[in-house]
Structure 1
Amino acid sequence: MPGKIANATLVESGKLSYGWARTRMSIIERIAKGKRKPLEGFRVGFCLHVTKETSVLVMAAKELGAEVALCSANPLSVQDDIAAFLHGEGVAVYAWRNETQAEYKKCIRDVIAFKPDIVTDDGGDLHYAAHGAKARGIMGGTEETTSGVRRLSALEKSKKLRYPVIAVNNARTKYLFDNRYGTGQSTLDGILRATGMFLAGSRVVVCGYGWVGKGVAAMAHGMGAAVTVTEVDPIKALEAKMDGFAVAPLEKAAEQGDVFITCTGQTGVIRKEHFAKMKDGAILANTGHFDVEIDASFLYRNGRSVEVKPNVECFKFGGKKLYLLSKGRVVNLVAAEGHPPEVMALSFANQLASILHVAKNHASMEKKVHPVPESIDDAVARLALVAMSVEIDKPTAKQKKYQRG
C-alpha cells in the first residue's frame, strides 16, 4: 500500500484506539448499516486531523467500498498509532507527527496524485491545492471548518470553484455541538495538559465569540475563570455581554489576562502591541484552524525562546516572560487529542452522509458551496438522540395542520 508513516509497529496501539472511538461513535455505523457498497468504484481523498475519531470515518468509507487516501490537516496533530493502523488496513496514509511545512504540502500533493473522485477536507488546504494543480476527475467534496468554507466561498464568488462542495461545517448538528461543546472542552483540555495550571480565579481572554469562542468562554467560566471576550462584530459582542462576560478591546484586555485564547479564524489577532502590554507569565494559545492568529513569528524574531516542557515555549520579551503553547497551532489537537468521540460522531456522520450524497448526486449539483441537506442534518440529530437513549415527542396531526396554516 502506498503512503508514508512514522512507525508501522504502532498498528496494535492504533487498533485499540480505533476500537475505543468506534464504540462511542455508533451514529457512523447506523448511517452505513444496511447499505451495500455505494462508494464502490469511488476514490475518496481525506485531509483531516489523523485522530482515533477520524479513523472511524475513514474505515466507514472504506467499508462502504471506497478506495481511500489520507493526509493530515495539521503538521503537528497526527496520532502516529492511528496512521499506522489505517495504513495497515489498506488506506494510503501520508501523515506523521511533526511534519515540516514542506512535508505537509507534499503529503497533500500525494493525496491529489491518488486521483480522488471526492475530496473531504478540514481547512481547505486540499481543496485549494487541487484547484491550484487543476486536478481532473474530482466530482465533488465536503468541507469541515469555518475557515475552509470561507476560502471555498471566495472561489465560488470569483467563479473559480471547479466542483460542488457541501459545507459540512454549516450543518446545525456540526457547529452547534462540535464547534461549541467539542472545541470548548478540548481546548481547555489541551491548555491544562500542556501547562497543568490552576484555571479557577484566573483571567481568561477569549478572542472571538463565534461558536468556538462561545464554547471556550462557557467552559472556562464553568471551571471558575473570569472571562473577558474581545470582538470586532457588534452583534457578537452584545451577545457575549448578555451572556454575562466582560467585553473589552484586546488592547485593554491585554493588560489583565492570564491566558489568551484565539478563536477567530482570522490572521494577526494578537500582535506585538498586545505582547508589549501583557503581564509577566501570560499564556498564549490558539484554537482557530491555522497558526496565523497569534503573531508567533514576531516572538521568534524578537525574543529568546526556550521549550520549558512539551508544547510550552517561554519567550523573554521586554523584560518579562510570555508562554506560547503548541507553536501557535491548534492547542486542542497538538497538546491533547482533539474532540471527544461522542461529539465528533455528529460531525463525521454529516461528513459520511454528505460523501454519499455527492457520490449519488454529483452530476446534478452546481459548482458551488452547498448546504448540508436538511434531511441529513435532521437524521443525524435523531440518530444522536437514539445513541444517547433520549426520546422526544412527535407533533399531533392537529399540530401539523396548524403549523401548515
Structure 2
Amino acid sequence: FAPTIDAVCERFSGRILGVVEDTENGHKRYACAEKLPCPVVSVARSPLKDPEDFLVGQSVVFSTEALMRSRGDILHGRPALVIGFGKLGSSIARLLHAKGVQVTVHDVDPVRRTQALSQGFTVARDRDAALHGAGLILCATGAVSLRGEDFSALRNGAYVATVTSSEDELDLAGLPDVYQRTPNGDHITRYQTTGHYFYLLNGGNAVNFLHGASVGPFIYLVQAEILAGVRNLARGDLGPGMHEVDAADRATIAGTWLNYFNR
C-alpha cells in the first residue's frame, strides 16, 4: 500500500484506521515518506520476528541448493556473495559458511559490514570484483541489489537468487535487450548473450516459496504481533506516522507462545 497510501486515505477519508506492515521493504518505504496520512504500525523490525527471519534465511539456502542440484550443480567450490547483511542476509551467510561455502558479504551500511567482518566473513571492498568472482549471488536487501548494468559483470554460469520479489531486488527491466531468456529446468531461467550467461532462480522472486517457506510455529509470534498492531489501530489514539507494538505486549505474546509450544 505504500505507493498509494495517500490516494487511499484521500478517497476513503475518515475510514482508514491505518496500516500494519510486516516486511522490511514496506517499512523502508513508509519510513522514507515525507509525511504519512495515517498511522503505520510496523512489526518488520520486531525482535519477535527474528526467529522467522533466521528460518527464512535457512529455507532460502535450502531452495537455492535444491534448484542448483536439479541442474547437477552443487554449492561447494562455488564462491557466494550475499548482498545485504540484515537478519535474512546474515542467516543465509551463516548457513552457507556452515556448509563449507566461501562467503563474501556486501552491504551499503558500514555498521553491518563491520558486523559481518567481526563474524569472520570476507567483506567486499570492491563490489564489482565481488560480483565477478561469485558463482552464487543471494540478494537480501529489501531494495534493489542488482541494477541492469550489474548483470554483465556476473561470472559465467553464476546463479542469482533473492529473498523477496524480483521488482524489489532486481532491475531486470534495465538488463540489455541482447540477453536471451531461456527456461533451463523448473524455475530456472538462463540469460545468455554472446560470450556471457547466468542463471536466475524462480524468475527473481523469493526462492523459498517454491518449497513452502515454512518456519513452523514461530510464524505465530509474528501473526500475534500483527493482531496486536491491529488492536492498537482500532483504539484510534495513534497519530499519523510510524509506530511499534509496546514491549510489554511483545513480552505477553512471547510468554503465551512459550507456555503453549515449550511444554
- TM-score, length basis structure 2: 0.88
2:138 is matched with 261
Q: Alpha-carbon deviations, 1:355-380, whole Å to 9, x = none? A: 12322x22x11111101111221122
Shift in alpha-carbon separation, 1:130–1:255, aligned structure 2, 3 A: closer
Is 2:48 aligned against 1:170?
no
Structure 2 matches for 1:130-141, cutoff 5 A?
Answer: 130-133=5-8, 134-136=10-12, 137-141=15-19
Does the 8 Å CA contact 1:204/1:257 hold for their aligned counterparts? Answer: yes
Specify the SS of the correspondent of 1:153: helix
Is 2:225 aligned against 1:350?
yes
Compare 342-351 and 269-278 and name the one that shifted more: 269-278
Shift in alpha-carbon separation, 1:172–1:327, aligned structure 2, 3 A: same
Is 2:247 aligned against 1:377?
no
Does the 8 Å CA contact 2:166/2:203 hold for their aligned counterparts? Answer: no
C-alpha distance in structure 1 between counterparts of 2:225 and 2:165, whole Å:
19
2:119 is matched with 243
Specify the SS of the correspondent of 1:302: coil
Is 2:262 aligned against 1:389?
yes
Q: Alpha-carbon deviations, 1:234-263, whole Å to 9, x = none? A: 111111011011111321112221110111
2:74 is matched with 198
C-alpha distance in structure 1 between counterparts of 2:65 and 2:176, whole Å:
24
1:96 is matched with none
Structure 2 matches for 1:40-119, cutoff 5 A?
Answer: none
| Aligned partner of 2:102 among 207, 226, 241 | 226
Amino acid at match of 2:37: R
C-alpha distance in structure 2 between counterparts of 1:366 and 1:250, whole Å:
41
Shift in alpha-carbon separation, 1:271–1:151, aligned structure 2, 3 A: closer
Does the 8 Å CA contact 1:153/1:369 hold for their aligned counterparts? Answer: yes
Specify the SS of the correspondent of 2:134: coil
Does the 8 Å CA contact 2:22/2:43 hold for their aligned counterparts? Answer: yes
Specify the SS of the correspondent of 2:212: coil
Amino acid at match of 1:260: I
2:89 is matched with 213
1:113 is matched with none
Specify the SS of the correspondent of 2:44: helix
C-alpha distance in structure 2 between counterparts of 1:291 and 1:256, whole Å:
25
Amino acid at match of 1:296: L
Specify the SS of the correspondent of 1:291: helix
C-alpha distance in structure 1 between counterparts of 2:168 and 2:46, whole Å:
26
Amino acid at match of 1:190: S
Specify the SS of the correspondent of 2:76: coil
Specify the SS of the correspondent of 1:265: coil
Compare 235-244 and 320-329 and name the one that shifted more: 320-329
Does the 8 Å CA contact 2:76/2:101 hold for their aligned counterparts? Answer: yes
Larger radius of gyration: 1
Shift in alpha-carbon separation, 1:273–1:261, aligned structure 2, 3 A: same
Amino acid at match of 2:252: A
C-alpha distance in structure 2 between counterparts of 1:130 and 1:298, whole Å:
27
Does the 8 Å CA contact 1:185/1:339 hold for their aligned counterparts? Answer: no
Is 2:212 aligned against 1:337?
yes
Specify the SS of the correspondent of 2:85: coil
C-alpha distance in structure 1 between counterparts of 2:222 and 2:168, whole Å:
25
C-alpha distance in structure 2 between counterparts of 1:344 and 1:289, whole Å:
20
Specify the SS of the correspondent of 1:170: coil
How many pairs align? Answer: 256
C-alpha distance in structure 1 between counterparts of 2:138 and 2:150, whole Å:
13
- If asked which structure has higher relative contact order (CA below 8 Å, sep 6+), I would say 2
C-alpha distance in structure 1 between counterparts of 2:221 and 2:76, whole Å:
30
Alignment identity in percent?
25
Q: Aligned-pair RMSD on alpha carbons?
A: 2.1
| Aligned partner of 2:238 among 365, 375, 379 | 365
Does the 8 Å CA contact 1:140/1:165 hold for their aligned counterparts? Answer: yes
C-alpha distance in structure 2 between counterparts of 1:304 and 1:284, whole Å:
16
| Superposed displacement of residue 300, structure 1 | 6.5
Runs of 4+ in 1 over 3 A off after TM superposition: 271-274
Specify every segment of 5 or more residues in structure 1 that has no aligned partner in the other structure, as ranges: 1-125, 391-405
Does the 8 Å CA contact 2:2/2:29 hold for their aligned counterparts? Answer: no
Amino acid at match of 2:95: M
Does the 8 Å CA contact 1:147/1:289 hold for their aligned counterparts? Answer: no
C-alpha distance in structure 2 between counterparts of 1:367 and 1:273, whole Å:
39
- TM-score, length basis structure 1: 0.59
Does the 8 Å CA contact 1:265/1:290 hold for their aligned counterparts? Answer: no
C-alpha distance in structure 2 between counterparts of 1:324 and 1:273, whole Å:
16
Amino acid at match of 2:29: R
Q: Alpha-carbon deviations, 1:300-327, whole Å to 9, x = none? A: 6221111112221001134132001122
